[in-house]
């Protein structure tokens, strides 16, 4: 049975020829996708030998060695300069800076990209914006008391992301998302605590930036509450 975070990723995938799972978690996601006819075949990819060996054991136990291939690769090294077509790429359980580094190493991004990050995802939004890729869906949720951000990106459609949404995301994706509102209110309180420690009289650059950040998040939360 998949974890909540992997289930949310799987829910975004349907009827594709292949999936490449970068940083595969014991191949749980590729196995589930193939078993449930969401993908005809899959690549389970990891840079380290040990998790890849565990992935292979699970694939063998599921009798899917003819449909799921394990590959030792640093990100997209396995596909760069090769004629391999991918329908869906998944990257889960890593921080956003690491995910951006992996995506940036991909010479010819293609298909659909689904990322599930354990840190805030403004760097990933910025990567999509810079490359003119569309964000189709976003979510924020809690699993095992940890925060996760979920993004579905299409390389086929041109970006309609607004610059004002790069930091916190399109608010329409977070209507009635109480987990995200709770997180944002905690962020506001965190920055207010920082503000108390800064010297207001000197109006330092950090002080001014912190004030702007608080106002930005407060405005975003108010906008969501108005349409909820």
Q: 199: which 2 tokens?
A: 């010297």
Indicate if the alpha-carbon torsion angle 200, 202, 207, 209 is positive or negative. Answer: positive
Residue 86: closest CA among 122, 49, 55, 42: 42
Which percentage of the chain shows pLDDT scores above 90? 86
Regarding whether 92 and 184 lie in a shared domain, the answer is no
For residues 64 and 34, the answer to whether their CB atoms sit within 8 Å is yes
37 and 140 belong to one structural domain: yes
Average pLDDT score, the chain: 94
Indicate whether 121 and 221 sit together in one domain: no
Q: How many CB atoms lie under 10 A from the CB of residue 8?
A: 18
Instruction: State whether 33 and 146 are in the same domain.
Output: yes
Closest CA to 47 of 81, 71, 25: 71
- Residues 137 and 213 placed together within one structural domain of the fold: no
Domain end point (choices 147, 170, 193)? 170
Of 13-22, 75-84, 170-179, 192-201, the one with minimum mean pLDDT is 192-201
Q: Which domain holds residue 207?
A: 178-227
Q: Which helix (H) or strand (E) holds 88?
A: strand 88-94
d(CA 196, CA 198): 6
Average pLDDT over residues 193-217: 85
One domain for residues 133 and 183: no
Asked if 142 and 31 sit in the same domain, the reply is yes
Co-location of 123 and 73 in the same domain: yes
**pLDDT value of residue 201:** 65
Query: 83 and 118: one domain?
Result: yes
Whether residues 116 and 187 fall in one domain: no
13 plus 110 within the same structural domain: yes
**pLDDT at residue number 203:** 66
Looking at the DSSP bridge assignments, the partners of residue 20 are 43, 89
Query: 92: which 2 tokens?
Result: 């889960």
13-22, 162-171, 199-208, range with the lowest pLDDT: 199-208
CATH number for the domain that contains residue 13: 3.40.50.150
Q: 145 vs 5, 167, 191, CA distance in Å?
A: 12, 23, 22
Number of separate domains in the chain: 2
Q: Are residues 26 and 104 in the same domain?
A: yes
Asked which of 127, 151, 170 is the last residue of a domain, the reply is 170
Alpha carbons 201 and 192: distance in angstroms, whole number? 16
Look at residue 204 and tell me whether its pLDDT is greater than 90.
Answer: no
């Amino acid at each position: 049975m998949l974890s909540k975070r992997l289930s949310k990723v799987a829910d975004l995938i349907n009827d594709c020829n292949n999936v490449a799972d970068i940083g595969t978690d014991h191949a749980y996601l590729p196995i589930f996708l193939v078993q449930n006819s969401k993908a005809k075949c899959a690549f389970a990819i990891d840079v380290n030998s040990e998790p890849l060996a565990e992935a292979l054991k699970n694939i063998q136990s599921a009798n899917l060695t003819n449909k799921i291939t394990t590959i030792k690769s640093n990100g997209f090294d396995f596909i760069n300069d090769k004629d391999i077509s991918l329908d869906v790429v998944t990257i889960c359980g890593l921080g956003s800076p690491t995910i951006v580094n992996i995506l940036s190493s991909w010479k010819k991004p293609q298909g659909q990209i689904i990322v599930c990050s354990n840190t805030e995802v403004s760097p990933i939004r910025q990567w999509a914006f810079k490359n003119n890729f569309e964000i189709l869906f976003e979510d924020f949720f809690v699993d095992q008391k940890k925060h996760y951000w979920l993004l579905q990106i299409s390389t086929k459609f041109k970006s309609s992301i607004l610059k004002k949404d790069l930091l916190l995301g399109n608010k329409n994706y977070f209507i009635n998302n109480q987990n995200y509102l709770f997180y944002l209110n905690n962020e506001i309180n965190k920055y207010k605590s920082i503000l108390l420690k800064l010297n207001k009289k000197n109006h330092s650059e950090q002080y001014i930036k912190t004030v702007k950040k608080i106002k930005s998040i407060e405005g975003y939360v108010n906008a969501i509450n108005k349409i909820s």
